[in-house]
């Protein structure tokens, strides 16, 4: 392909020197913490927008687009090594108009150019650096770039010089490459067939693939680096529900236990780091993301529901402890992330030397702590910069180890001491989609682990989120600056994850206003994000036009917005008795059929929705006293019934779901109406009878 030829040309460059003086660039006016981190670079950065591209056309220069986020370790490295360097800045300023984008504020831009990078290079990641024509068409992509070329990696100075030479003397090759890539991106967006009718065999194929990818020694899937991928574990738990598969349950539990015991889990302050750089879950990439806490809270909740094992419920409590302590704003909403770095070093905040423990705890307690958390005299953490151990340790423990009262006292002492260290940077952006996900997790966990206070916290957060992020037309914002001057329109994930949160809140407390809001937002989603082929776009039909209008079908660290939408549609259809919603979900599944069959493990959450759609499931209507209905619903949801939806009959729910028992039940107490596969049992008054029916 032509762009591969251009890639080869770019990799053969010369050398040049340049000068640039430090200054404040255009990013100083932006609210994003990530953009602010680059506001004093000597690189003449511009925010994304028409002005920057107009300047590129006027100056007759290509565009250097750099995408990252504020807690990205390698983004920090590149900012320090390259973008703060006068010589690099001089070379870049001479050749390019440079644009910085925060991928968390603009996931749509990130997705478009990540797709381009994957087509050009076969991979991607952050920082993502893409060279564009002034019309926004990409012709080169890379992730981390050092200052100078070496070890098979292009240097930014040499890249700048080589592109300048090509732009001046052989521009047609670049433009032709960019045009061809753009056409391929457009073709990739188009569905090439009507799609196959979804069948449960696709889910079963995914279960087999996950089993083949399973790491039998340490849990999880594949080798290093190893990501938590909670949605894959959630799909396996449905395998246990459907087939009673003991091996699937054993793998999920091994994974959950190994992760909790490993360095990927913060053993003192709780919460999960981003991923493990090794197969054993020992050495993490130390950043903490809100969405990881939410997804892992969900899968540990489901494991607790299914097994009844208290250790899984304890991990849910520990994640909640971290989130509510360190990631919650005064108004009840949630911050985005915590950095991997502090004092210029990755992980420094979390690492311990044995000498520190001995000085703080005394001989006996230090010996106990060192044994329990595997703290070595010489350290177990490899300093990557120096390729040597420096005496620092990542705390981890044996999966079967028991936390005694004495060890808990030691943990709290160590945590209080650690709190006095310089903390990693916290990105205090409030993102609508991630907040919706955290609300869903807290609501789900509140019933799974008997924490009613979490329901009230989640309910308050949802009220705040809707108050701050719904506009006059009942459309969502993805992000708004504190002063309200900068805002990003809501995208598919915002609607999908907020609807998910509303549905979890409804079934946790039966406040029909949450169900009403979920229905209203779902109508907005279908009106503005649907594609002609039955799938969903990431951006709304009236959003800023980009190089392509990105669709959203693949799972990443998070389930895709399309997959969550399918899951929501099935639940809404069964809660409201509206078969059109289930038909719409099946259209989306049919559109995704090629990917569901070709790469099922990369579509775990979409397949979870397919399982939900093709499993007859249960609809339960509870009529009677509000408080008693809440308690009955909570008791049922302490077990694992992922194919069950529960509706409480009241005046508002009766309007939203007219099918839900039109007559007022007679007699005292609660009445349960349990239906499955378009058939309903006789009304029951005993919860135990309903529970027994669900178990069968």
As a whole number of angstroms, the distance between CA 450 and CA 499 comes to 23
Q: Is residue 194 part of a domain?
A: no
Task: Answer for the pair 245, 239: CB distance below 8 angstroms, yes or no.
Answer: yes
Instruction: Note whether 300 and 449 are same-domain residues.
Output: yes
190 or 543, which is more confident: 543
The tens digit of pLDDT for each residue in 309-350 reads 999 999 999 999 999 999 999 999 999 999 999 998 999 999
575, 569 contact by CB (below 8 A)? no
Q: What is the pLDDT of residue 679?
A: 84
Quick one: 146 and 41 in the same domain? yes
For 268, residues 6+ apart whose C-beta sits below 8 A from its C-beta are: 350, 395, 411, 414, 415, 418
For the stretch 502-539, pLDDT in tens is 999 999 999 999 999 999 999 999 999 999 999 999 99
**pLDDT tens by residue, 99-140:** 999 999 999 999 999 999 999 988 888 999 999 999 999 999
CA atoms within 13 Å, Cβ hemisphere of 132: 30
Is 196 part of a structural domain of the chain?
no
pLDDT at residue 64 is higher than 90: yes
pLDDT confidence of residue 2: 43
- Domain end: 423, 442, 471, which one? 423
Q: Please report the pLDDT score of residue 13 as a whole number.
A: 39
Q: How many CB atoms lie within 10 A of CB 240?
A: 20
Tell me: pLDDT of 417 over 50: yes
The whole-angstrom separation of Cα 160 and Cα 149 is: 12
673 in the same domain as 604? no
Among 215, 247, 267, 248, residue whose Cα is nearest residue 398: 267
Q: Who's near 242: CB < 8 A, 6+ residues apart?
A: 611, 615
Would you say residue 195 lies in a domain? no
- The pLDDT tens digits for 617-649 are 899 999 998 899 999 999 999 999 999 999 999
- Averaged pLDDT score across all residues of the chain: 92
Count of CB atoms situated within 10 Å of the CB of 344: 8
* The domain boundary residue, chosen from 423, 450, 475: 423
In a domain, 669, yes or no: yes
Alpha carbons 206 and 614: distance in angstroms, whole number = 15
Q: Establish if 302 belongs to a structural domain.
A: yes
Tell me: do 411 and 558 sit in the same domain: no
Burial class (CB in 10 A: 0-12, 13-18, 19+), 377: exposed
| Cβ atoms of 397 and 374 closer than 8 Å | yes
End-to-end distance of the chain based on CA atoms, in angstroms? Answer: 57
Assess if residue 503 is contained within a domain.
Answer: yes
Confidence (pLDDT) at 660? 62
**pLDDT tens digit string along 356-397?**
999 999 999 999 999 999 999 999 998 655 555 679 999 999
Q: Looking at the predicted structure, is the pLDDT value of residue 153 above 50? A: yes
- Are 437 and 569 contained in the same domain? yes
Task: Give me the pLDDT at residue 484, please.
Answer: 74
Element (H or E) spanning 620, and its range?
Answer: strand 618-623
Q: Which of 614, 634, 652 is the last residue of a domain?
A: 614
CA distances from 320 to 124, 144, 270, 376, 455 (A): 32, 34, 9, 30, 12
Indicate yes or no: pTM above 0.85: yes
- Other beta carbons less than 10 A from residue 284's beta carbon: 27
- In a shared domain, residues 531 and 544: yes
Convert the pLDDT of each residue in 674-685 to its tens digit: 998 888 888 999
Sequence length of the chain is 696
DSSP labels for 507-528?
A: HHH--HHHHHHHHHHHHHHHHH
Long-range contacts of 466-469 (CB under 8 A, 24+ apart): 466/498, 466/517, 468/333, 468/430, 469/432, 469/494
Ramachandran angles phi, psi of 458, nearest 5°: -65, -40
Looking at the fold, whether 216 and 69 belong to one and the same domain comes out as no
Give me the sign of the Cα torsion angle 342, 346, 352, 354.
negative
Long-range CB contact pairs, 238-247, < 8 A, 24+: 238/203, 238/608, 238/611, 238/642, 239/207, 240/306, 241/306, 241/640, 241/642, 241/643, 242/611, 242/615, 245/207, 247/211
Q: Specify the pLDDT at position 20.
A: 39
pLDDT tens digits for range 205-221: 999 999 999 999 999 99
Do 488 and 437 have their domain in common? Answer: yes
Q: How far apart are CA 656 and CA 651, in angstroms?
A: 9
Examine the domain organization and report whether 436 and 501 are in the same domain. yes
CA dihedral 393, 398, 401, 407 (to 10 degrees): 0
For helices 512-529 and 452-469, angle between their N-to-C axes, nearest 10 degrees: 40
Q: Which pairing describes strands 138-142 and 284-285: parallel, antiparallel, or unpaired?
A: unpaired
Helix (H) or strand (E) holding 648: strand 644-649
- In a domain? residue 507: yes
Q: What is the pLDDT of residue 606?
A: 96
Domain match, 446 and 361 both: no
Nearest Cα neighbor of 312 from 324, 299, 321, 325 is 299
Q: Is 40 inside any structural domain? A: yes
Residue 597 Cα distances to 196, 222, 455, 566, angstroms: 10, 20, 38, 17
Residue 68: phi and psi, rounded to 5, are -160, -160
3 state SS of 368:
helix
Q: State residue 23's pLDDT score.
A: 84
% the chain with pLDDT above 90: 82
Q: Which residue has the higher pLDDT, 187 or 360?
A: 360
- 492, 590: one domain: yes
Range of the domain at 639: 618-695
Q: Read off the tokens for 126.
A: 């952050």
pLDDT confidence bin for 11, thresholds 50/70/90: very low
State the CATH number of the domain containing residue 157.
Answer: 3.40.30.10
Would you place residue 22 in the very low, low, confident or very high pLDDT band (cuts 50, 70, 90)?
Answer: low
Angstrom distances, CA of residue 432 to CA of 173, 361, 475, 687: 42, 43, 12, 37
Pair (322, 358) in one structural domain: no
**Integer Cα distance of 173 and 491 in angstroms:** 35
> Could you report the per-residue pLDDT of 262-309, keeping only the tens digit for each?
999 999 999 999 999 999 999 999 999 999 999 999 999 999 999 999
Q: How many domains does the chain have?
A: 4
285, 277 contact by CB (below 8 A) = yes
């Amino acid at each position: 392909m032509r762009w591969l030829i251009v890639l080869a040309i770019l990799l053969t460059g010369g050398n040049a020197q340049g000068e640039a003086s430090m200054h404040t660039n255009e990013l100083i006016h932006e609210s994003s913490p990530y953009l602010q981190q680059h506001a004093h670079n000597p690189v003449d950065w511009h925010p994304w927008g028409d002005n920057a591209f107009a300047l590129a056309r006027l100056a007759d220069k290509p565009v250097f687009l750099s995408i990252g986020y504020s807690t990205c370790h390698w983004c920090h490295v590149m900012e320090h090594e390259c973008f703060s360097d006068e010589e690099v800045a001089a070379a870049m300023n001479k050749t390019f108009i440079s644009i910085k984008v925060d991928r968390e504020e603009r996931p749509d831009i990130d997705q478009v150019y990540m797709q381009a990078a994957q087509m050009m290079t076969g991979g991607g990641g952050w920082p993502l650096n893409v060279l564009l024509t002034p019309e926004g068409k990409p012709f080169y992509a890379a992730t981390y770039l050092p200052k100078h070329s070496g070890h098979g990696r292009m240097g930014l100075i040499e890249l700048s010089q080589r592109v300048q030479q090509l732009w001046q003397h052989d521009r047609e090759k670049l433009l032709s490459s960019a045009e061809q890539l753009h056409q391929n991106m457009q073709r990739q967006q188009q569905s090439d067939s009507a799609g196959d009718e979804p069948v449960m065999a696709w889910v079963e194929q995914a279960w087999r693939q996950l089993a083949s990818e399973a790491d039998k020694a340490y849990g999880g899937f594949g080798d290093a680096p190893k990501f938590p991928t909670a949605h894959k574990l959630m799909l396996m738990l449905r395998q246990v529900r459907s087939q009673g598969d003991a091996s699937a349950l054993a793998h999920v539990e091994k994974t959950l236990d190994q992760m909790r015991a490993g360095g990927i889990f913060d053993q003192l302050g709780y919460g999960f780091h981003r991923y493990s750089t090794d197969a054993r879950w020992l050495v993490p990439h130390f950043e903490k993301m809100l969405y990881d806490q939410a997804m892992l809270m969900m899968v540990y909740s489901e494991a607790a529901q299914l097994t009844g094992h208290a250790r899984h419920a304890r991990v849910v409590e520990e994640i909640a402890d971290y989130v509510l302590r360190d990631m919650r704003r005064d108004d009840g909403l949630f911050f985005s992330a915590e950095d991997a770095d502090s004092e210029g070093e990755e992980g420094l905040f979390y690492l311990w030397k044995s000498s520190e423990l001995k000085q703080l705890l005394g001989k006996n307690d230090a010996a106990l702590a060192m044994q329990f958390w595997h703290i070595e005299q010489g350290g177990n953490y490899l300093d990557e910069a120096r390729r040597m151990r420096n005496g620092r340790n990542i705390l981890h423990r044996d999966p079967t180890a028991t936390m005694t009262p004495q060890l808990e006292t030691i943990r709290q002492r160590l945590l209080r001491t650690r709190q006095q260290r310089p903390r990693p940077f916290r990105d205090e952006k409030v993102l609508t989609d991630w907040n919706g996900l955290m609300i869903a997790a807290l609501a789900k966990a509140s019933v799974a682990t008997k924490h009613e206070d979490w329901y009230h916290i989640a309910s308050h957060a949802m009220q705040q989120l809707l108050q701050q992020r719904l506009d006059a037309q009942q459309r969502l914002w993805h992000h708004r600056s504190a002063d309200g001057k900068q805002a990003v329109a809501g995208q598919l994930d915002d609607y999908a994850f907020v609807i998910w949160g509303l549905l979890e809140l409804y079934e946790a407390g039966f406040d029909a206003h949450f169900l009403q809001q979920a229905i209203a937002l779902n109508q907005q989603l279908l009106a503005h994000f649907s594609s002609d082929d039955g799938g969903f776009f990431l951006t709304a039909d009236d959003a800023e036009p980009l190089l392509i209008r990105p669709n959203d079908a693949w799972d990443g660290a998070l389930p895709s917005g399309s997959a969550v939408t399918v899951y929501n549609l099935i639940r809404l259809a069964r809660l409201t008795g509206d078969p059109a919603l289930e038909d719409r979900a099946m259209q989306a599944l049919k559109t995704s059929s090629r990917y569901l069959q070709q790469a099922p493990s990369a579509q775990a959450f979409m397949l979870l929705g397919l399982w939900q759609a093709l499993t007859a499931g249960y609809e339960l209507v509870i009529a009677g006293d509000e408080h008693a209905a809440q308690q009955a619903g909570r008791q049922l949801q302490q077990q694992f019934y992922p194919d069950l939806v529960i509706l409480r009959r009241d005046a508002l729910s009766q309007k939203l779901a007219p099918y839900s028992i039109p007559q007022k039940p007679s007699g005292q107490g609660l009445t349960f109406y349990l239906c499955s596969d378009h058939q309903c049992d006789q009304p029951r008054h005993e919860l135990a009878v309903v529970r027994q029916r669900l178990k069968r």
